[in-house]
Amino acid sequence: MSIAVLGSGAFGTALAISLACDGPDITLWARSATQATAMQKDRVNEARLPHANFPASLHITADLANLKEQQTLLIAVPMQQLAHFIDRNKAHLANKTLVACCKGIDLQSGLSPTQVIRAILPEARTAVLTGPSFAHDVAAGLPTALTLACEDSKLGQMLQTALSTSNIRLYRSTDVTGAELGGALKNVIAIACGAAIGAGLGESARAALITRGYAEMRRMADVLGAQSETLAGLSGFGDLALTCASEGSRNFRFGLSLGRSEPFDANITVEGAATARACHEKAKELEVDMPITAAVTAMIDQTLTLKQAMDSLLARPLKEETC
């Protein structure tokens, strides 16, 4: 199976390195021709993964027309840019297998990654690759387990075999809805956890946010028809645990800045910010109770301070614990 990775951010680059380390030729597409030339010459992505050298079998291009032979394309562009990217490059992406490697909900349409792809390319063969992973771990060859979700079980089996590497172990699922929701919503909870730690509220507060945030994720997943087992797996609870507990997460670091009332680098993509807004709107539409998501959205939009957000959560009616 011929494979290319579209998107030379940290995670796209890391995936390409891991796939190429196992031998087959892999092509990594970069949006910038200047960046592509530099990476091909220096054999490293200096801007995103400066300490991860490229294997000899990793090739770089900035021209999607060079990917005519690659039938499986891993799309690792930011979620809020996905729709524009797919629409602009429809001719190059048609009749390919497209594996979404981004996490989130499109703010404009409220669609998940594979839904965005199919809205523009209805005949596309789609799957999603998601789960607990940091780019630097993947690129360094450290063991990582991910979920490969595909509604077509036969295609899913083929992709599972083709995309597994010596350090990436893939678990297969047909529950695309659950896998995508887990990957999207955990970023919102990570922002909340970062804000709590940044404000000095302590580890107990973080544990409470993780637990109750997981309950929110499951409530939304249940309404949208996802399987509860998926949310308990790598793409749900596993990704939630990693993202809420490490400063390696951009969403957690963004939350830290909120909690500390510090500015955050605008050049760093924080998928959870847009996802919080999109999920908050969807929760209102579907009448799903998601108070942490609402509080995070209000903090991002600066309609509530952190103290006001925490006070609103603590003032909620006492209830029996149920998921």
User: Among this protein's residues, is 96 annotated catalytic?
Assistant: no
Q: What is the pLDDT of residue 134?
A: 97
If we measure between CA atoms, which residue out of 140, 134, 31 comes closest to residue 85? 31
Kindly report, residue by residue over 181-206, the tens digit of the pLDDT: 999 999 999 999 999 999 999 999 99
| Domain spans, the chain | 3-174, 184-314
Cα first-last separation, the chain? 42
Please state, for a pLDDT cut of 70, what percent of the chain lies above it.
Answer: 100
Q: Helices in 89-131 by DSSP H: which ranges?
A: 90-93, 113-120
Which CATH code, of 1.10.8.50, 1.10.1040.10, 2.30.30.90, 1.10.1740.10, is assigned to 184-314?
1.10.1040.10
3-state secondary structure of 92: helix
Q: Is the pLDDT of residue 23 over 80?
A: no
Which residues, 6 or more positions from 246, have their beta carbon under 8 angstroms from its beta carbon?
134, 252
If we measure between CA atoms, which residue out of 277, 275, 221 comes closest to residue 243? 275
Report the DSSP beta bridge partners of residue 170: 146
Kindly report, residue by residue over 71-115, the tens digit of the pLDDT: 999 999 999 999 999 999 999 999 999 999 999 999 999 999 999
Query: What is 3-174's CATH topology?
Result: Rossmann fold (3.40.50)
3-state secondary structure of 152: coil
Q: Is the pLDDT of residue 318 over 80?
A: no
At 322, is the pLDDT very low, low, confident or very high (cuts 50, 70, 90)? confident
At 142, is the pLDDT very low, low, confident or very high (cuts 50, 70, 90)? very high
Please state, for a pLDDT cut of 90, what percent of the chain lies above it.
Answer: 92
Which residues, 6 or more positions from 194, have their beta carbon under 8 angstroms from its beta carbon?
249, 251, 252, 253, 254, 255, 256, 257, 258, 259
Q: Considering just the CA atoms, what is the radius of gyration of the chain in Å?
A: 19
Read off the pLDDT of each residue in 150-168 and give the average, rounded to a whole number. Answer: 97
Kindly report, residue by residue over 49-62, the tens digit of the pLDDT: 999 999 999 999 99
Tell me if 57 sits within 8 A of 24, measured CB to CB: yes
Kindly report, residue by residue over 224-276, the tens digit of the pLDDT: 999 999 999 999 999 999 999 999 999 999 999 999 999 999 888 899 999 99
Q: Which residue has the higher pLDDT, 313 or 246?
A: 246
Q: Which entry of 41, 68, 96, 186 is annotated as an active-site residue?
A: 186
Q: What is the pLDDT of residue 24?
A: 85
CA distances from 57 to 67, 76, 96, 113, 282 (A): 15, 19, 22, 29, 43
140, burial (CB in 10 Å: exposed 0-12, middle 13-18, buried 19+) = middle
CA distance 3 to 143: 21
Q: Is the pLDDT of residue 164 over 90?
A: yes
At 311, is the pLDDT very low, low, confident or very high (cuts 50, 70, 90)? confident
Kindly report, residue by residue over 130-139, the tens digit of the pLDDT: 999 999 999 9
Handedness of CA 70, 71, 74, 80 (dihedral sign): positive
Tell me if 213 sits within 8 A of 239, measured CB to CB: no
Q: What is the pLDDT of residue 323?
A: 63
